[in-house]
Every structure is written in structure tokens, then in C-alpha cells.
Chain A
């Protein structure tokens, strides 16, 4: 039986990653430990001393799933910009791939899949450390991993579709600072969006990150309900579908014109 073309692209990405993961292993574990220590224990201690809890849970329990998914998003955003432009501009191996039976849309799909999977593998480490610190109070917490994967895939789907159309990386730092950073800070990651002024609350609800964070938080705190979870998943899948439509168009235009 034929291997779907997208998975053949994924095989290439995994082969490259196989050579890199040892170098990345330290950051994979160190970053969550640092984040959780600073925000969860340090800041959390202060929060707990004043109000006792956020939305009925310890601040550490509140912020841990937020950080988990937000880290996945950050990884997805950097991975969707520079490496995609490299594929068409600096390394140019995308042109080699589309000379085979693989189509530009498969190159796109393979990359989004890889970034989603990579975000999930990072989330495993994150969740393990959070659990050690007592921030995971339900076995449903395991769902935080696919939640992070879906959220990462949604960002990758949208940003890769954009990145492939660029000729330089000049706009990328701007996207990280003016697009990704605000989302990172204001998508219910560090505090509930009920703290935001009402007009910003409406915007925060549009953020794929908010849906990912909420899904993961409901899972790790054990407050998950089927209806809410399904709604978050549908929104994230919707963003991925939107990205797929745009990405198929932009990848085809760039690689097969």
C-alpha cells in the first residue's frame, strides 16, 4: 500500500530531528522546570498568600497548563517562520521534494504534522515536571498533550502559509513581537481572561492559544466537560483547516509556478 505523501515528508523531518534531539533534550526539560519554578512557585506563592487561589485552584495548578500550551505555541511559531523560508530560500530542499511525486500541499501538511508532533513530545516533559510538582490533579491531565499539539499545529498551519510567501525574514521578528508575544501574555495563560477589559476579552476568545490553554487547564484540573472540550477542539481544528486552505495555495504558488 502506498505511503501517503505527507508522511514521506514527515519521515524526512523525523530523520533530521533524530540527529538534533540529544542537543535539544536539555532545553526540553530545563525550560519547563524554570518556567514552573518562577511563575508557579515564585509568583504563585505570592498570589496564593493574597487571594488563596485563582478560579478555585492553586496558582501553580492554574498557570502550569497555560505555560505548557504557551510553550508549545512559541515553539510552533519559530518553527513555522525561519525553517519554512529556509526550505524555499536558503536550503531550497523544498524544490527537490516537489520534483518527486510529492506535491507542495504535502510538503506543507508534512511540516504542520511534524511541528504538532514535536510540540506534543515537548509537552510530555512539561507535563511530567508539572505532575512532579503536584500541579496535575486528574488523569484527564494527559489530554493536555494533544491539546498542546493541536494548538501548535493551528499556529504552524497559519504561519507556515504566510512564511512561504516571503522573500526575506525581515517581517518575522515583528510577527514574534507584535503578534506572538501579546497572544502569549493575554490568552489566559497567566491570568483568567475575565481580568481583561470586555473588548479585549472578545479578542482573547478568538486566540487559538486561549482554546488550547483552556482545554489543557480543564484537563489537568479535572474540570473537563465534554461540551466545552469539543468546542475548543473544533475551534482549533477550524484554524488548522483554514491554514490548510491558505497553505495549499501559497505553497503551490511558491513551489510550482
Chain B
């Protein structure tokens, strides 16, 4: 597709005999927030590193910003912003110098770097921490500094690998808010996550990855419509009853069921009616939970496993 920012065809990454990314296809368009959703070890980080031109592909085709990473790595990287999964801030420098020196890696003029560093530190609400060392900052602050640093070259594409993993809920929401603002300003975001709520909140379009492959693609809404019913009734297993029998009885009531260790998910378009039917049947524990289906359910139905596995 003309004008795509990233285009991958049969993209593959092998480490020795291990296949980390197995012939995946995807396209990322300007201005969208594109997500790779999947459990740990699905190949998300390897894919991101190939897009970031720090890991050569083992097979297939990849174009980033219309260029080939094999030949134009430095030229592509000069137009990318990268927020890695593990912080790699320069702990030997202050917050301010982290911004300045990073800008200098892009060979930006010193005056320009100072101007942008001041703006970006304000944007991520670290304006008052300029002189601080990196180590005393909280996890959320470090992540915000990493994002500010990644924006110093005004990237056309911002790559975020598990941006909120390990952060407390408040820090996550602050970060989502900043990312949402970037999205509104037109920055193209590419992120990996194993949090379905993060994917639903931020992504216009996403692919679900499992075991090195892409198993589904679409907008969050489209994925839900294609793969799951509108609602789910969660039934806690009655410890005294035979689980097999419980599954059989629930299968008759719902459109389809998924059995987890401690509970059964009953998929249905009408949660209330199904809950009533379950209660009348007397199957399972008395406690029922009716909720809307989520991307977690899509993943579960496609792979038979949960994202946190």
C-alpha cells in the first residue's frame, strides 16, 4: 500500500533454530495507533526490534518509512522514537542531560535540543525534576522520561514496547493520557501490550499474536464482533459437583463456553436471560457475574489460553 509507514510481508525472525516471529504480515498507516496484543513470548518484542532497525530480519520483507532497514537503518532510526520494554535511561546523567545528550545522538543543534527538552519535560510533567538523577525517579516517572526522550527528534513513528508494564494504576492512567494526547496530535503510535484494556483504550487497530504468529487482525470493535458474543456470564465452579457435568449443562444454555481453572465463561448475546437460565438450572456456584466481552475473550477463544499465561 502506498504511503504506509510500515509494511511487513512474511516477516520472520529466527534465533538459531528458535522461530521468534513466523512469517507475519501487517501494515501500519500514518496517524493510527497500532497494537500488537499477545502474551509474553508471542514475538511482539522481536517484531518491534525489527521495525526499530536494531535487529535484522531472518526472512520476508520489511519496509519502514518506505525504506529497507538492511540498507537504511540509521536514516530510518533518525525518524523513529523508541520506548523500550526495559528502561535504558542513562543513569550517569541527570534528567536534563538525558534529554540533551539523546538529542545530540540525532545530531540536532544544541539550542534546538534545549528548547525541545524543556517543552517535552513539561509535557510529561517532569519540568521540576530537571536537575535530578535518574535513579531516584519512580517507575512511572522513568517511563515518562523515556517517552519524552523518544520524542526529542519529533519522530514520525513512536514505538512503545509494553509501555505500562510494571506501573501502578495511577501511573498507567497518566501515561495513557499522555499517549492519547500524542495520538490526537497525529503521532503514529505502535505499541505492544499484554493488557487487553490498554489495547482497547489506545489502539485503532491491532493484531493478536500467539506463538510467533498473527492469529487475528482488526479494530477492537471489529475483533469483538467477529469472534465473541456481546456478553459473558462468569460462573464459579461448584467444588462439590463434577466439572464435566457442569460444562455439559452450561453448553446447553449458552452459545459457547470456555472452561478456566476456577470458573466457566458462558458466551451469550443476552447476559441477563442466560444468567436467569443458569440460576433456574441450579448449575455452578450461586455467584454469577455478567459482563461485556473483551479482547481477553477474543484471545481466549482464538488460542484457548488467557493473556496472563
Contact = CB atoms under 8 A, between A and B. Distances in A.
A101 B107 contact: yes
Interface string B84-114: 1011111111000100011011110000000
Instruction: Say which size band chain A's interface belongs to.
Output: 20 to 34
Contacts of B101: 11-12, 15
B27 to A, nearest CB: 23
B243 interface: no
A96 B75 contact: no
A112 B55 CA distance: 24
Given A92-B86, A255-B54, A256-B54, A100 B102 contact: yes
B148 interface: no
A257 B45 CA distance: 12
A103 B73 contact: yes
Interface in B134-167: 149, 153
Nearest to B97: A15
A249 interface: no
B75 A101 contact: yes
Nearest to A93: B90
Interface residues of B, number: 30
Contacts of B15: 257
A257 B55 contact: yes
Given A15-B97, A256-B56, A257-B55, A100 B92 contact: no
A23 interface: no
Contacts of A94: 88
B78 A101 contact: yes
Contacts, number: 76
Contact of B84 (A91, A95, A103): A95
Contact of B105 (A2, A101, A257): A101
A12 B90 contact: yes
A96 B77 contact: no
A96 B56 contact: no
B52 interface: yes
Interface in A77-108: 91-103
B84 A100 contact: no
A97 B97 CA distance: 14
B106 A96 contact: no
Contacts of B78: 100-101
A3 interface: yes
Interface string B225-262: 00000000000000000000000000000000000000
B102 A96 contact: yes
Nearest to A1: B107
A226 interface: no
B41 interface: no
Interface in A12-35: 12, 15-16, 19
Contacts of A16: 92-93
A230 to B, nearest CB: 36
Nearest to A98: B54
A218 B215 CA distance: 71
B90 A95 contact: no
A254 to B, nearest CB: 11
Contacts of B89: 93, 96
B77 A91 contact: no
B74 interface: yes
A198 to B, nearest CB: 47
A15 to B, nearest CB: 6
A93 B91 contact: yes
B82 interface: yes
B80 interface: yes
Given A3-B107, A8-B105, A11-B101, A100 B88 contact: no
B54 A2 contact: no
Nearest to B84: A95
Nearest to A104: B54
B105 A97 contact: yes
A189 B150 CA distance: 49
Nearest to B146: A96
A93 B97 CA distance: 13
A93 B88 contact: yes
A98 B69 CA distance: 14
A9 B101 CA distance: 9
Contacts of B149: 96
A92 B107 contact: no
Interface in A219-257: 255-257
A91 B91 contact: yes
A92 B92 CA distance: 11
Contacts of B82: 99
A31 B153 CA distance: 44
Given A15-B101, A96-B149, 6 more contacts: A5-B105, A92-B87, A96-B88, A99-B77, A101-B78, A256-B54
CB-based closest 5 A-B pairs? A100-B105, A101-B74, A99-B82, A96-B88, A92-B88
20 contacts: A8-B104, A8-B105, A11-B104, A12-B90, A15-B101, A16-B92, A19-B92, A91-B88, A91-B92, A92-B86, A93-B91, A95-B84, A96-B102, A99-B77, A99-B82, A99-B84, A100-B78, A101-B106, A103-B73, A257-B55
